[in-house]
Structure 1
Amino acid sequence: MIRVLIADDEALMRSGLQMILDLQDDIEVVAVVENGREAMEAARRKNPDVALLDIRMPDMDGLTATSAMTKLPSPPAVLVLTTFALDGNIEQALLAGAAGFLLKDTPPRELVEAIRVVMRGDAVLSPAVTRRVIELQRRQLSAHSGHSDHSKLLGRLTDREREVLPQLARGLSNADIARTLFMSEGTVKGHVSRMMDKLGVTNRVQAALIAFEAGVNDEQLGQGPVLRDDPADVAEPGER
């Protein structure tokens, strides 16, 4: 059972989300609150698996709450919900540690699936948001050269991890990456976990942002010094 926290300052939105989720056999709504501070208190008390947070809330907004929640001992995966697909909000939410960013007009079926996706440790973005993220990164790369620091981070990765990163940046799940690169899903999970530790990020979306900013593509996989893989490709405990 996936335990979900809902935080939104609009009563109608809270009721609608709860009604949609209560119809699901594998989802339980454990708390419904109206601001970020109440969301943090509920997250500590209820220990949800997934938190649905509105960005614009009184008494601690969703971005601040997202950043605070990701620092909890057992943090929930955060799905940020908003009416506004503003570039600044998208970037701030992802850098704060959100596992996904959805617009409030996302169809109910896609919202439910997004909860299941982030519960599995994958990231999710609305198609419109994905386009904005990519365009944002392209504009930033054109405006300033930020490759050097990120290139140093990528230099910490093994050959295999540098094969996995572009697939992750394209939004592929671990299962899809496994099929693409002819690995087991457990091996991919291990590579993703170690890769995120080396990049200093807490979720897959942040890793994808680094990939975009560094201009990672298939042609770059073999460039630059990289660490060698361990003799055996085995997954480490835990999933990312």
Structure 2
Amino acid sequence: MDDVRVLLADDDRLLCATMAAGLSECRGIRVVDVAYTGDQALRSIARRDIDVALLDVEMPGMDGIEVTACIGKEHPEIAVVILTAFARDDFLPRALYAGARGFITKDTPVDQIAAILQGVMQGNMTISPRPADLLRAEYGTIALRHHRDRDLERAVSTMPDHLRSVFELLAAAATNREIARRLHLSEATVKVYVSEILARTACESRTQLAVRTARSGIVPGT
């Protein structure tokens, strides 16, 4: 198997030199160029034969994710692995959407990075443990929220009209007095209706109801 030809791009010149030296000592890896900005990385790709681009996520000018998107459009044969100092949950989905095949933190041992670079050439996708934990947590939150939303939507859809009117104002954080005035009800009646709405939606408080309604995308009055 031929050596994997790697472009390393990172604006930290010391780290870049250290990692390039370390990777060059790994069997099956050949660092053919280094770059310190996203623009330099793209220029290097245009003039060299590269198999994998190992890109720092944060660089001056074009960041690693923007460079990843450009590589995907202009050089889809090149695999991209994103390198980051921090396991931030906002970087990961953007990197994957841009087409990255790997997402690793800079504290990953060099020999493991070399194995990852070789793996992506075989079609593998690799995410370091800490970013993977963030991804699992995010999908878990989405799944839980989706379940709650369906419950809330079901509760709202079966709500009688006299409660639905109160719900719409309650979700907008109106007080009992404001609701009573706008719907021409007594505050005592509004209090009873609010209690019934909270019970139907399984909310423990008015605040929880307002937050869940906002998150669900339910638009009062539609």
Which of the two has greater helix per residue? Answer: 2
Cα gap change, 1:4 to 1:75, in 2 (>3 Å): same
Q: Distance in 1 between matches of 2:43 and 2:76?
A: 14
Query: For 1:20, which of 19, 22, 26 is the aligned residue?
Result: 22
Q: Distance in 1 between matches of 2:78 and 2:131?
A: 21
Q: Distance in 1 between matches of 2:132 and 2:92?
A: 10
Aligned to 2:58, the other structure's residue is in SS state: coil
Task: Tell me which of the two structures has the higher relative contact order, counting C-alpha pairs closer than 8 angstroms and 6 or more residues apart.
Answer: 1
Q: Distance in 2 between matches of 1:91 and 1:140?
A: 13
Q: Distance in 2 between matches of 1:86 and 1:23?
A: 30
Q: Distance in 2 between matches of 1:18 and 1:102?
A: 16
Query: For 1:125, which of 120, 124, 127 is the aligned residue?
Result: 127
Q: Distance in 2 between matches of 1:83 and 1:51?
A: 17
Q: Name the structure 2 match of 1:101.
A: 103
Q: Distance in 1 between matches of 2:137 and 2:34?
A: 34
Q: In the alignment, is residue 2 of structure 1 matched against residue 18 of structure 2? A: no
Q: What one-letter code is carried by the residue in structure 2 that aligns with 1:21?
A: L
User: Would the aligned equivalents of 1:78 and 1:99 in 2 still touch at CA under 8 Å?
Assistant: yes
Query: For 1:143, which of 136, 145, 161 is the aligned residue?
Result: 145
What does the per-residue CA deviation read over 1:37-60, in whole Å, with 9 as the maximum and x for residues that have no partner? Answer: 111111121131111000110010
Cα gap change, 1:107 to 1:25, in 2 (>3 Å): closer
Q: Report the CA distance between 1:144 and its aligned residue.
A: 4.3
Aligned to 1:71, the other structure's residue is in SS state: helix
Query: For 1:92, which of 91, 94, 99 is the aligned residue?
Result: 94
Q: Distance in 1 between matches of 2:58 and 2:76?
A: 24
Q: Name the structure 1 match of 2:36.
A: 34
TM-score, structure 2 as length reference: 0.62
What does the per-residue CA deviation read over 1:64-118, in whole Å, with 9 as the maximum and x for residues that have no partner? Answer: 0011111124431111000111101111111111001000000112111111111
Cα gap change, 1:44 to 1:141, in 2 (>3 Å): farther
What does the per-residue CA deviation read over 1:149-181, in whole Å, with 9 as the maximum and x for residues that have no partner? Answer: xxxxxxxxxxxxxxxxxxxxxxxxxxxxxxxxx
- Whichever of the two has the greater Rg, that structure is 2
Q: Distance in 1 between matches of 2:82 and 2:14?
A: 17
Cα RMSD after superposing both structures: 1.4
Identity of aligned residues (%): 36
Q: Report the CA distance between 1:16 and its aligned residue.
A: 1.1
Which segments of 5 or more consecutive residues in structure 1 lack a partner in the other structure?
146-240
Matches within 5 A, 1:37-56: 37-56=39-58
Query: For 1:68, which of 67, 70, 77 is the aligned residue?
Result: 70
Aligned to 2:74, the other structure's residue is in SS state: coil
Q: Distance in 1 between matches of 2:91 and 2:80?
A: 14
User: Would the aligned equivalents of 1:47 and 1:76 in 2 still touch at CA under 8 Å?
Assistant: no
